[in-house]
Amino acid sequence: DVYENEPKPAPGLSGLDNVVMVAHIGSATVATRDKMAEMAAADLVAMMKGERPRHCVNPEVYERRANAGYRPAGH
């Protein structure tokens, strides 16, 4: 399910006997999930300070709201 709209693997890669395609489970390590939590928290702090989050997934929405004068509570 995760391969349909994501970048396609290199041609022939999925047919190799020595390749295992693991989709999103490949990121399910403690270290990776800890880093993901740190990044999300840092982006929340940035937003609360009125700053643009570093890892903005939909920058067009952020820019539209910023241009409309949206600011977090207290700013």
Whether the predicted pLDDT of 4 surpasses 80: no
Q: Is residue 45 part of a domain?
A: yes
Question: Could you read off the pLDDT of 9-63 as tens digits, one per residue?
Answer: 777 887 889 988 776 776 778 998 999 999 999 999 998 888 889 998 888 888 8
pLDDT of residue 73: 64
Q: Is residue 29 part of a domain?
A: yes
Q: Quote the number of domains for the chain.
A: 1
Q: Is residue 46 part of a domain?
A: yes
Q: Is residue 8 part of a domain?
A: no
Q: Which residues of 20-51 are buried (b: 16+ CB within 10 A; e: fewer)?
A: eeeeeeeeeeeeeeeeeeeeeeebeeeeeeee
Q: Which domain holds residue 57?
A: 13-67
Q: Do residues 43 and 54 make contact, with C-beta atoms less than 8 angstroms apart?
A: yes
Q: What is the DSSP letter of 14?
A: G
pLDDT of residue 47: 86
Residues 46, 54: Cα–Cα separation, whole Å: 8
Whether the predicted pLDDT of 69 surpasses 90: no
Whether the pTM exceeds 0.75: the reply is: no
Q: Is residue 60 part of a domain?
A: yes
List Cα–Cα distances, 50 to 41, 60, 70, in angstroms: 14, 16, 9
